[in-house]
Amino acid sequence: MIKPHGSDSLNPLYVQDDAKRAELVQEAEGLHSVVVCSAAAANAVMLGSGYFNPLTGYMNKADALSVAEKMTTTDGVFWPVPVLNLLENADGIEAGARIALRDPNVDGNPVIAIQTVEAVETFSDEEMASMTENVFRTQDMEHPGVLALNSVGKVAVSGPIEVLNFSYFETDFPGTFKTAYQIREEMAALGWKKVVAFQTRNPMHRAHEELCRMAYQATEADGILIHMLLGKLKPGDIPADVRDAAIRKMVDVYFEPNTVLVTGYGFDMLYAGPREAVLHAVFRQNTGCTHLIVGRDHAGVGSYYGPFDAQSIFRDDVPAGALEIQIFEADHTAWSKKLGKVIMMRDAPDHTKEDFILLSGTKVREMLGNGEAPPPEFSRPEVAEILIAHYSK
């Protein structure tokens, strides 16, 4: 395993001491409180989990703008996207205060963290536009990440936080949600030193399965971390519980025992393409992984990004030495009718499109909705069965 990003040891912001956490819960009852947006709550979970090491809390305006423009904070910490607590207004909140942050995603809005406020600042319209453009390469409000960032307010409340719980992720996804430090512990117990990570917000079809094997073999890894996003997605995406069941079934049936860890993390999808790919690399480094698979249109949506922009950003924009994790660059993978197996398209210059089994997402959803399994060369039958049951509802 490799060391965390930005420090020699992982420094998660979750308060692990039971007595100390109980004191903070009691303190929170007397503090000014605010229900934060879903993105800010997810940021708290990621900070608490150690995924956002070495950050200590929410960024101020200067850091957020610097990160958006140059991928570094004002004091030189490499970071690819702003980590913010944005509010519509911050009435009653002043620098130096301690405030309770309430979770918008859990009934009753329990306190998820306590923040020590360092600054309360408002982004101008021009600053919001610049930050949006730099991170998402567009200001189109049809882009789900652009809409999410620009619909929660422009007042940034910055400062360190102490995290009291992991929102709904521990209760809704027991056994799947894992912190970065828990993943490190599990990989250490397995004796894994070289680990390749696979990011997913979707169920895994044959191409994804084989891509993991290709990377595992090419890097001579000890294991594979299949790491799924468990937070908010855009409408139409497969819910996390269905995805979890489908992926676990595939791993149980088709992978060798003790070669794969199936885990998830508590974050809302940004759909930020290249910038989100870099973020994925940062927090996979914090789990101890040595490699991250970055494939075609990684973390993309629609046609906002080129098919391999999420790979080229590591070559063109990430400074040498900024990250210790290595990128495994993957091409589009599909079943070759000629060779009778899944391959990367770049490895078959003698193939035409007709030589592959290629199905669009729309076609696959249509088939599943009609109770029809995609061909076994595209999707494992056990996985298709779970997805058909979902679509039948």
146, 106 Cβ separation under 8 angstroms: no
Q: Is 36 exposed, middle or buried, given 0-12, 13-18 or 19+ CB atoms closer than 10 A? A: buried
53: annotated active-site residue: no
Mean pLDDT, residues 193-209: 94
- List the alpha helices (DSSP H) in the chain: 18-28, 38-49, 61-70, 125-136, 144-149, 169-172, 180-190, 206-218, 240-254, 274-287, 309-316, 361-369, 381-391
Residue 238 banded pLDDT, cuts 50, 70, 90? confident
In 3D space, the residue among 274, 267, 270, 289 whose CA is nearest the CA of residue 212 turns out to be 289
From residue 379, alpha-carbon distances to 181, 199, 264, 293 in Å are 33, 18, 22, 20
Q: What is the pTM of this model?
A: 0.94
Digit-coded pLDDT (tens) for 246-257: 999 999 999 999
Q: Is 20 exposed, middle or buried, given 0-12, 13-18 or 19+ CB atoms closer than 10 A? A: exposed
| 114 vs 112: CA distance, rounded Å | 7
Indicate if the pLDDT at residue 236 is higher than 80: no
Q: Which of 21, 202, 248, 296 is catalytic?
A: 202
21: annotated active-site residue: no
* Cα 83 → chain centroid: 13
The helix (H) or strand (E) run that includes residue 116 is: strand 111-116
Digit-coded pLDDT (tens) for 58-102: 999 999 999 999 999 999 999 999 999 999 999 999 999 999 999
Phi-psi sector, 122: left (phi>0), alpha (psi -120 to 50), beta: beta
Digit-coded pLDDT (tens) for 258-312: 999 999 999 999 999 999 999 999 999 999 999 999 998 999 999 999 999 999 9
Domains and CATH numbers, the chain: 18-167 (3.10.400.10), 174-265+271-391 (3.40.50.620)
Do you know the residue count of the chain? 393
Q: What percent of the chain has pLDDT over 70?
A: 100
Other CB atoms closer than 10 Å to residue 250's CB: what's the count? Answer: 25
Q: Which of 98, 201, 248, 365 is catalytic?
A: 201
